[in-house]
Amino acid sequence: MSDFKLDELDIKILRMLQGDARKPFQEIAEHCGVSTDTIKNRFNTMTKKGLIRGTTIVIDPKEVDQNLIVSIGIQVTNPYAEQVLALVKKITGMCVVTRSVGRYDIEAVAILKDIEQINTIKNTIGDFQQVKNVDIEIWVDKPLLCPKNFEFEETRQ
């Protein structure tokens, strides 16, 4: 963990940008009762320190031709998890692939076009020799995203 400490103003800025990344700095400045330059400086500092990685829009993947989000749980014969992880990472459509502790040894989230592709992926993974079992969860409806749920208070000491 870094030793970078957030103060109240930083947190206010982050909170406002979490809900709307395009909010003009001027508006944030007015709300916080400081100058626009102050906000700009704080934003740039937090970006330079790596606390802010960037800003992005949240797109509904279902609207852009990619209809299905699935989570994948994989059970692997020890000690081949790293090997399988490397192979799974190469499959197209994967957006997270990670080692995991719990029921599965590897978990992944993928965004796919159709049911057929799910089947292909399940077979591809199942075909790796060291894989014992593959479970797939298909996400239905719109996933609810809540980037606002980070709590920043923790670093204020």
Partner 1 sequence: MKLDAIDTTILDMMKKDARISLREIARLLKVSPDTISNRVEKLQQQGIILSSTVVVDPTQIGYSFITRFGINVKPAYATQVLEKIIKIPSVIIASRVVGNYDLVAIGVVKNFQHLYTLRDIILEMPYVENVELGMWINTMEICPHYFLI
- Binding site residues, partner 1, CB under 8 A: 1-2, 4, 6, 14, 17-22, 49-61, 63-64, 69, 71, 73, 95-96, 98-104, 107, 109, 111, 135-152, 154-155
Of 129 and 141, nearer to partner 1 (C-beta) is: 141
Q: Provide, rounded to whole angstroms, the least separation between the CB of residue 132 and partner 1.
A: 15
Q: Provide, rounded to whole angstroms, the least separation between the CB of residue 150 and partner 1.
A: 6
Q: Are 114 and 100 in contact (CB under 8 A)?
A: no
Q: Provide, rounded to whole angstroms, the least separation between the CB of residue 50 and partner 1.
A: 6
Of 34 and 109, nearer to partner 1 (C-beta) is: 109
Half-sphere exposure of 12 (CA within 13 A, CB side): 15
Q: Are 108 and 70 in contact (CB under 8 A)?
A: no
Angle at 60 between CA 26 and CA 121, to 5 degrees: 140
Residues with Cβ < 8 Å from 20, sequence gap 6 or more?
A: none
Q: Provide, rounded to whole angstroms, the least separation between the CB of residue 49 and partner 1.
A: 7
Cα 134 to Cα 108: distance, rounded to the nearest angstrom: 11
